[in-house]
């Protein structure tokens, strides 16, 4: 049994992590911290956990956390970086679900996140936890940066195209849409039901924090510097991300490569991946087909006479886009079966 602690368990990634971990056969939950809710039962905040979890939220306490084999940070950006060094020094392994360790270039990070990084010396050793790309590095890492939600959906969708140099990296477009849980559980007017239900909009269209994270990943897939336009949108629903990706075939590929060939490449690339499902050509993956599950479903399209490949990619932002991927990473780090505890079938309807 892995002794696990969670720092910051009151947000949506926190409760999702709890939903998965209370059913995980190899996890022994030791401590869940929350300054704001310390002393109250976790199941008072999240009644879905009544009967599954008897722990209270407690004040953060390094000594208590240091007794764990693994600590998850489900905290706002900028919190983990202040506590992680001490935990690492005590031999605890850490998975950070926030953005503190995702970006290698500290100047880029500080620019987009508007704060000074507290332990930039750790950035290089932190492993970016996208298992489909980094599996072997994940296995032995002590500090894991769990990918962002949009970056997960977008990188997996572009991956086989870029790895195989099929498309022009200079003009990629990712039109992405997310459910509102991505905005977190903080009280804010803009996330009220009456402000968002029955409506849709783009946001961050001039620039969003996930842009540099995605670019870093896409750059690593091939040799050129990518040009990416990324526009996120807010969907009137709780869970789910859909990314519609547009990439132009290279002149060479335009004459040689059929959509069926691209499909074959995708199927081959993800054949052994337990959490990527390449659907048949012409499919339109629905976000509900992954609701509550750790799956990413992908489908390909091309319009008549066009040199643009369209990739449709869906995930549950709280599972494959956050807590589920974190548990997947934990499974890899601790040598468990990769799918242990995260094989749930999506809730549909």
Restricting to residues 152-191, name those near its own copies by CB under 8 A: 171, 173, 175, 177, 179-181, 183, 185-189, 191
Q: Is 195 in the site for its own copies (CB under 8 A)?
A: yes
Q: Which is nearer to its own copies, 137 or 310 (CB)?
A: 310
Residue with tokens 């990314």: 243
Q: How many residues bind its own copies (CB under 8 A)?
A: 90
Tokens of 64: 């208590």
Candidates 77, 164, 219, 302; binder of its own copies (CB under 8 A) is: 302
> Greatest CA span in the chain, whole angstroms?
65
The stretch near its own copies (CB under 8 A) out of 121-129, 130-138, 262-270, 296-304 is 296-304
Restricting to residues 231-260, name those near its own copies by CB under 8 A: 231, 233, 235-240, 242, 244, 246, 248
Q: Is 326 exposed, middle or buried (0-12, 13-18, 19+ CB in 10 A)?
A: buried
Task: Give the C-alpha separation, 71 to 95, whole Å.
Answer: 6
Residue with tokens 């926030």: 98
Q: Is 279 in the site for its own copies (CB under 8 A)?
A: yes
* Dihedral over alpha carbons 335, 337, 339, 342 (to 10 degrees): -70
Tokens of 30: 């030791």
Q: Which is nearer to its own copies, 51 or 335 (CB)?
A: 51
Q: Is 224 in the site for its own copies (CB under 8 A)?
A: no
Tokens of 249: 């075939």
Q: Which is nearer to its own copies, 30 or 287 (CB)?
A: 287
Q: Which of 309, 215, 209 is nearest to 265 (CA)?
A: 309
Smallest gap from residue 31 Cβ to its own copies (A): 19
Q: In this structure, what DSSP letter does residue 306 have?
A: -
Catalytic (active site) residue 149:
yes
Candidates 7, 15, 97, 322; binder of its own copies (CB under 8 A) is: 15
Q: Which is nearer to its own copies, 141 or 327 (CB)?
A: 327
**Could you tell me if residue 114 is left (phi over 0), alpha (psi between -120 and 50 degrees) or otherwise beta?**
left
CA 272 from chain centre, in angstroms, equals 20
**Residue 327 · residue 13 · CB < 8 Å:** no
Smallest gap from residue 88 Cβ to its own copies (A): 31
Q: Could you give the 3-state DSSP secondary structure of residue 230?
A: strand
Smallest gap from residue 136 Cβ to its own copies (A): 24
Task: Give the C-alpha separation, 276 to 98, whole Å.
Answer: 23
| Number of residues that make up the chain | 349
Q: Is 199 in the site for its own copies (CB under 8 A)?
A: yes
Q: Which is nearer to its own copies, 116 or 197 (CB)?
A: 197
Smallest gap from residue 206 Cβ to its own copies (A): 5
Q: Determine which one of 68, 141, 149, 296 is catalytic.
A: 149
Q: Is 346 in the site for its own copies (CB under 8 A)?
A: yes
Candidates 6, 29, 312, 315; binder of its own copies (CB under 8 A) is: 312
Q: Which is nearer to its own copies, 126 or 312 (CB)?
A: 312
Q: Could you give the 3-state DSSP secondary structure of residue 189?
A: helix
- Binding-residue pattern over the window 43 to 82 for its own copies, x denoting contact by CB under 8 A: ---xxxxxxx------------------------------
Rounded (10°) angle between helices 324-333 and 12-21: 50
Query: CA 84 → CA 69, 71, 93, 160, distances in Å?
Result: 13, 9, 9, 34
Candidates 8, 147, 169, 285; binder of its own copies (CB under 8 A) is: 285
Q: Is 211 in the site for its own copies (CB under 8 A)?
A: yes
- Catalytic positions are 149
């Amino acid at each position: 049994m892995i002794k696990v602690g969670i720092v910051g368990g009151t947000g949506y990634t926190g409760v999702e992590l709890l939903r998965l971990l209370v059913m995980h056969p190899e996890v022994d939950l030791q401590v869940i911290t929350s300054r704001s809710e310390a002393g109250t039962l976790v199941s008072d905040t999240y009644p879905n956990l009544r009967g599954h979890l008897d722990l209270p939220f407690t004040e953060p306490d390094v000594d208590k956390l240091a007794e764990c084999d693994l600590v998850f940070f489900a905290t706002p950006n900028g919190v983990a970086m202040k506590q992680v060094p001490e935990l690492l020094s005590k031999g605890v392994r850490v998975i950070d679900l926030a953005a503190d360790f995702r970006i290698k270039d500290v100047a880029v990070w500080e620019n987009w996140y508007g704060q000074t990084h507290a332990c930039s010396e750790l950035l290089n050793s932190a492993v970016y936890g996208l298992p489909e790309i980094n599996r072997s590095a994940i296995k032995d890492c002590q500090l894991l940066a769990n990918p962002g939600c949009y970056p997960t959906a977008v990188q997996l969708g572009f991956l086989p195209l870029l790895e195989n140099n099929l498309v022009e990296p200079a003009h990629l477009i990712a039109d992405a849409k997310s459910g509102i849980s991505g905005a977190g559980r903080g009280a804010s007017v803009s996330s009220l039901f009456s402000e968002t239900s029955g409506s849709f909009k783009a946001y961050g269209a001039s620039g969003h924090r996930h842009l540099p994270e995605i670019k870093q990943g896409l750059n690593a897939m091939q040799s050129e510097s990518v040009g990416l336009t990324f526009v996120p949108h807010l969907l009137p629903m709780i869970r789910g991300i859909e990314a519609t990706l547009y990439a132009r075939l290279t002149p060479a590929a335009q004459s040689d490569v059929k959509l069926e060939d691209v499909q074959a490449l995708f199927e081959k690339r993800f054949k052994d991946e337990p959490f990527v499902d390449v659907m048949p050509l012409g499919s339109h993956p629905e976000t509900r087909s992954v609701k509550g599950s750790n799956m990413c479903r992908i489908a390909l399209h091309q319009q008549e006479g066009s040199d643009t490949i369209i990739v449709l990619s869906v995930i549950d932002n709280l599972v494959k886009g956050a807590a589920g991927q974190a548990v997947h990473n934990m499974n890899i780090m601790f040598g468990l079966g990769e799918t242990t505890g995260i094989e749930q079938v999506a809730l549909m309807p």
